[in-house]
Structure 1
Amino acid sequence: MSQHYLSRRDLLRATTAAGVLAPFMPRAAWAQAGGRAVMNIICHPEPATLFIGLEQNAQVQLVCGKMYESLLTYDFDFTPRPSLAKSWEISDDGLVYTFHLVENAKWHDGKSFTAEDVVFTCKEFLMEMHSRARVNFSYCREIEALDDHTVRFTLREPFGPFIMAFEFSSAPMIPAHIYKGTDYRTNPANNTPIGTGPFKLAEWRRGSFIRLEKNPDYHGEGEPHLDELIFHILPDGASRAVALEQGKVDLSSSFDIEMFDVQRLASLPHLELETRGYEFMAPVARIEFNTRIPPFNDKRFRQAICHALDKQLFTDMIFFGLGRPATGPVSYRTRFYEPNVKVYDYDLDKAKALLDDMGLKPGPDGIRHTVKFLRLPWGETWARFAELVQQQLALIGLRVEIEPSDPGSWTQRYGNWEFEMTSNYPYQFGDPALGVARFFLSSNIKKGLPYSNCTGYTNPEVDEAFAAGASSTDPAVRQAAYSKAQKILVEDAPMAWLVEVDFPTLYNPVFQNITTTAIGVNETFRVVRKAG
């Protein structure tokens, strides 16, 4: 494998920037008019949509975070900050949340943003379209506009993390005057996103670039400071590295750059490395099992796979030390993490014994069973991830057939439960009730809805524990409930949790204030400046 990585480095050295980049980068997209502040950003893979209401994949969040907003954003320690809400109050009993909205916000089509939009978004749109928001706002007894710029949420019972439910991808504000009374999935406006953010869509040349321009009517006084953001669609890993190395792009994030190349690029004088800004995401690289189908419906089979995967090897060889071995479904960065759970040490003998106990004996060729692995399409890191899974499971007699996919087909197959096992790294949003419970609650098994309980896992004790953790505002009660849930889940192993990933952000330091909150590069960029 080291030779494979070396050959890619040799490719980067041997290939001129023009030769690699020419197929993907239209000359016009790279032009920066004199005196204009333009940031060039890598976006890989290309988003399937630019309407955050339809999909919340990482690349959709990266681009749409500049066009859409929610009521709040969050500091690195999850303290809420103003966004479309300038202030708020929470009643002593934790049941009433009152938000006072900014009074000069407008949608990109010039219509005023009002409390009516908030009520429509949270009471109607998100309840139909958004798996996480459906859980969050199901706690509301009433959502009402007190006047044009005041909204009151009254809960049926306390919901501990409710104040954290207003990050933009969790509750993006949607224009009521465009969507109310329509079929949300087929509304023509889906192709021309209209938000309240500091940037608005100027041009989308599919397969090439997405260009956003400054919103002159933005509600933040004197903001934004940049004139344009250009997101470049670069399918090839070598092209992305060369673009960053040559200064053609100013920003990469997440898995844009091959993990083996991060430290080399970070050492260049015109680039800096940042790992803050992913606290709200706290991704855990994992394998999800479709527990509906044999042999994945047998806990012993899933546990055998957990024992056969070397977490440290995945950390070192796939993520190049940018992370640490995972212990379970909740990241150590997320509130109410429980470290004292069942440990799946790397032990091939234990794995084989579990398979033997199931009656899955090796055949004459040494193969016990063949499984299909739906490969995650977000870059070559996940291709190598799948290959390492294939190699490691072969050692216990499991043949792995890797199924390639593109972003659209993966999302569709995942949401429709058309997989045996697949990899994933969804965001946790700072609290188990917001980003973790959705994958395990039996009430959140919704066919056709990706990033819900697609494994089909059901356990009444886990349902009860998540409910107890969510319905309390007492930290001790919440910790006890979530600790119980984590211990049961790790024992049942509906997933194999492998690495808590530290995403890298590589950026040109001429741009300031890129990472200012716990959602990092998915922020609005309203405060980003270009020095000089």
Structure 2
Amino acid sequence: AALSEFEKKLLLAAIAALLVSGSFLVTASYLNGTIEKPNYGGSYTEGLVGQPRYINPALTAGGDVDSDITRIIYSGLLRFDSSQTLVTDLAEQMPEISADQKQYTIKLREGLVWHDGVPITADDVVFTIRVIQNAAYQSPLRFVWAKVDVRKSDDRTIVFTLKEPSAPFLPNLTQGILPKHIWESIEPVKVPLSKYNLQPIGSGPFMLKTLRQSEDGEILSLTLTAFDRYAGGRPYLDQVELKFYSTYDDLISAYHSKDIQGLGYVPFDKKIYVEKSSQINLYNVNLPQYQALFLNRAKAPILSERAVRQALAESVNRDQIVSEAYLEAAQPSYGPIPPGYLGYNGAIQHAYLYDIEAAKKLLDDAGYKLAEGSTTRQKNGQALEFTIVTNNSPLNVKSAQLLKEQWEAIGFKINLNILTIGELEQNFLQPREYETLLSTENVGADPDPYAFWHSSQRANPGLNLAGFASREADQLILEARSNSDPSYRQSRYQRFQELVSADIPAVFMVNSLFVYGVSTKIHGIELRNIVNPSERFLDISRWYTKTKRVFK
């Protein structure tokens, strides 16, 4: 018998239900049997404050837009990954180090080419280092390579020879390499004027496509495209665009108007304008940089008393400095090697915990008393007084003001001398004419403290700003820098930090954080520790916006 209308509708509904449930089963089975992976395609646009001048790895030293762009366009023999581990870039494998640790032999990968298709050879590497070493080029990196001999043993093999063993040398092999065929015919005096500083040919993950300028010559943006033959593999993103702004207010406005997806740097005082957005990820990234008050005992006799130095260390409210000066973009600091870097000794942070009453007792026991009606302690007519010298950066000024409040609350008299960087450098830093100096130090890619804490570096141009001198510390520093074994260096650095902590040549305040803002649509970003802001691009070839599903 023929189906009734009701039965037909019932049958159609049943078939539809089977189809729907079947499609759900197929979809569920597909999802369960596959995983999501990055795919090629998409783009990223970042805003930066400043103007490019020298997109050239021999002329940049970090900390500006030139360094940012250079990091993306050029490659080194080695590079750091997101965990600050050295890995190969143009090199085929990690260098072979001689038994006396003076010679580093490194081989290039096969088939490497520049963005213009010309093969990369050992000649390019030798040329780059010799350009940097040549005083006529005025490279800011010259001192890094001053005592290194470089030669090629064949077209793919380079040999670096040091005068003395130096464990901190290895990170230098991240130096960006220049194409010899582009630069060799340009006289040193003409290098700063060369068009190739703004039309670079590199070997990094992205290559220059277009440069857009305003009518008056201001660079508005650079468009970079993925380099298919990059040594680390073709980047996932097809394109990266960098847009340039005059101020951070302009940068923030560009983000809110959706002209950019990322902010190359989010200043502490601008963080509030972007942090509430659900469409941005803010990365607080560790830098190997600390702020400290360096104590010059030669100029302030009261600081020769350990009890006074300890009272200063125990009465610093670091949390207040983090919150009120750095607006949370920092962490408390207790020593000369920051957390996350080789040799860090976490035990020293417990040596001088914030304890106002303990600090007061130290001063009382040392004979520094408060007279009736006075707010400044004295001993034998000597006031507990000194001057803090610092530059006029907002961070240092605010930190100095907080230190003055904190220490005057326990009986010190603190004077502040705020100067321009030029005045500070010429009149105080070079001749060491300060009682105390509030400053920051960036220890770099390797934690070697030689430049900052070895006794030979006490006079200008050395950076031992506290005049710290310890035979044992000197020996530990030299031992650590002459041996490339990480565990050996770790033990020396940990003991070195114990000596610094015991002597209190400086009062350590905070470790700075670099705040980086990127759209939630950009994936694959892994940032923990970087040496300078340009290193946020270390793994840019692995960033992605597109995905695909592949079977498990």
Q: Same fold (TM over 0.5)?
A: yes
User: Residues of 1 paired with 2:345 and 2:105: CA distance?
Assistant: 33
Say which one has the larger Rg: 2
Q: Match of 1:500?
A: 511
Classify the secondary structure of the residue corresponding to 2:387.
Answer: strand
User: Residues of 2 paired with 1:191 and 1:295: CA distance?
Assistant: 55
User: Residues of 1 paired with 2:483 and 2:495: CA distance?
Assistant: 15
* Aligned: 1:422 with 2:438: yes
Structure 1 pair 210–269 and aligned structure 2 pair: CA distance change class (3 A)? same
Residue in structure 2 matching 1:287, options 262, 278, 293 = 293
Q: Match of 2:280?
A: 271
Tell me how far 1:306 sits from its aligned partner. Answer: 2.8
Q: Match of 2:483?
A: 472
What does 1:108-187 correspond to in 2, within 5 Å? Answer: 114-122=121-129, 125=132, 134=143, 138=147, 142-155=149-162, 159-160=166-167, 162-167=169-174, 171-173=175-177, 178=183, 187=192
User: Residues of 1 paired with 2:92 and 2:64: CA distance?
Assistant: 28
What does 1:509-520 correspond to in 2, within 5 Å? Answer: 509-515=520-526, 519=530, 520=535
Classify the secondary structure of the residue corresponding to 1:482.
Answer: helix
Q: Match of 1:41?
A: 47
Structure 1 pair 528–358 and aligned structure 2 pair: CA distance change class (3 A)? farther
Aligned residues with identical type, % of pairs: 19
Classify the secondary structure of the residue corresponding to 2:72.
Answer: coil
Q: Match of 2:94?
A: 88
Residue in structure 1 matching 2:493, options 482, 495, 498 = 482
* Aligned: 1:392 with 2:402: no
Tell me how far 1:151 sits from its aligned partner. Answer: 0.9
Classify the secondary structure of the residue corresponding to 1:58.
Answer: coil
Q: Match of 2:263?
A: 252
User: Residues of 1 paired with 2:92 and 2:207: CA distance?
Assistant: 20
Structure 1 pair 523–231 and aligned structure 2 pair: CA distance change class (3 A)? farther
Classify the secondary structure of the residue corresponding to 1:258.
Answer: helix
Tell me how far 1:270 sits from its aligned partner. Answer: 1.4
1:525 partner letter: I
Is contact 1:259–1:320 with CA below 8 Å preserved after alignment? no
Tell me how far 1:49 sits from its aligned partner. Answer: 6.9
> How many aligned residue pairs are there?
476
User: Residues of 2 paired with 1:134 and 1:512: CA distance?
Assistant: 38
Q: Match of 2:390?
A: 374
Classify the secondary structure of the residue corresponding to 1:143.
Answer: strand
What does 1:3-42 correspond to in 2, within 5 Å? Answer: 37=43, 39-42=45-48
* Aligned: 1:313 with 2:323: no
Q: Match of 1:28?
A: none
* Aligned: 1:437 with 2:457: no
* Aligned: 1:521 with 2:536: yes
TM-score, with length taken from structure 2: 0.68
Is contact 2:255–2:261 with CA below 8 Å preserved after alignment? yes
Tell me how far 1:468 sits from its aligned partner. Answer: 0.9
* Aligned: 1:211 with 2:221: yes
Tell me how far 1:506 sits from its aligned partner. Answer: 1.9
Is contact 1:326–1:497 with CA below 8 Å preserved after alignment? yes
Tell me how far 1:106 sits from its aligned partner. Answer: 3.4
* Aligned: 1:74 with 2:80: yes
Tell me how far 1:186 sits from its aligned partner. Answer: 8.9
Tell me how far 1:272 sits from its aligned partner. Answer: 1.6
1:7-60 deviations in Å (ceiling 9; x for gaps): xxxxxxxxxxxxxxxxxxxxxxxxxxxx994613243x7789766545634335
Is contact 2:150–2:160 with CA below 8 Å preserved after alignment? yes
RMSD of aligned residue pairs (Cα, Å): 4.9
2:263 partner letter: S
Tell me how far 1:334 sits from its aligned partner. Answer: 0.9
Higher strand share: 2
Structure 1 pair 470–266 and aligned structure 2 pair: CA distance change class (3 A)? same
Is contact 2:396–2:438 with CA below 8 Å preserved after alignment? no
Give structure 1 stretches of 5+ with no counterpart.
Answer: 1-34
Is contact 2:58–2:128 with CA below 8 Å preserved after alignment? no
Is contact 2:56–2:70 with CA below 8 Å preserved after alignment? yes
User: Residues of 1 paired with 2:115 and 2:386: CA distance?
Assistant: 52
Tell me how far 1:291 sits from its aligned partner. Answer: 6.5
2:224 partner letter: K
Q: Match of 1:229?
A: 242
User: Residues of 1 paired with 2:263 and 2:133: CA distance?
Assistant: 30
Classify the secondary structure of the residue corresponding to 1:511.
Answer: coil
* Aligned: 1:327 with 2:334: yes
Classify the secondary structure of the residue corresponding to 2:352.
Answer: coil
Residue in structure 2 matching 1:106, options 100, 114, 117 = 114
TM-score, with length taken from structure 1: 0.70
User: Residues of 1 paired with 2:57 and 2:309: CA distance?
Assistant: 34
Give structure 2 stretches of 5+ with no counterpart.
Answer: 1-40, 377-382, 548-552
User: Residues of 1 paired with 2:76 and 2:227: CA distance?
Assistant: 17
Tell me how far 1:310 sits from its aligned partner. Answer: 1.3
Tell me how far 1:394 sits from its aligned partner. Answer: 3.5
1:298-340 deviations in Å (ceiling 9; x for gaps): 4756555433321232234444555542221112211221233
User: Residues of 2 paired with 1:62 and 1:443: CA distance?
Assistant: 34
Classify the secondary structure of the residue corresponding to 1:389.
Answer: helix
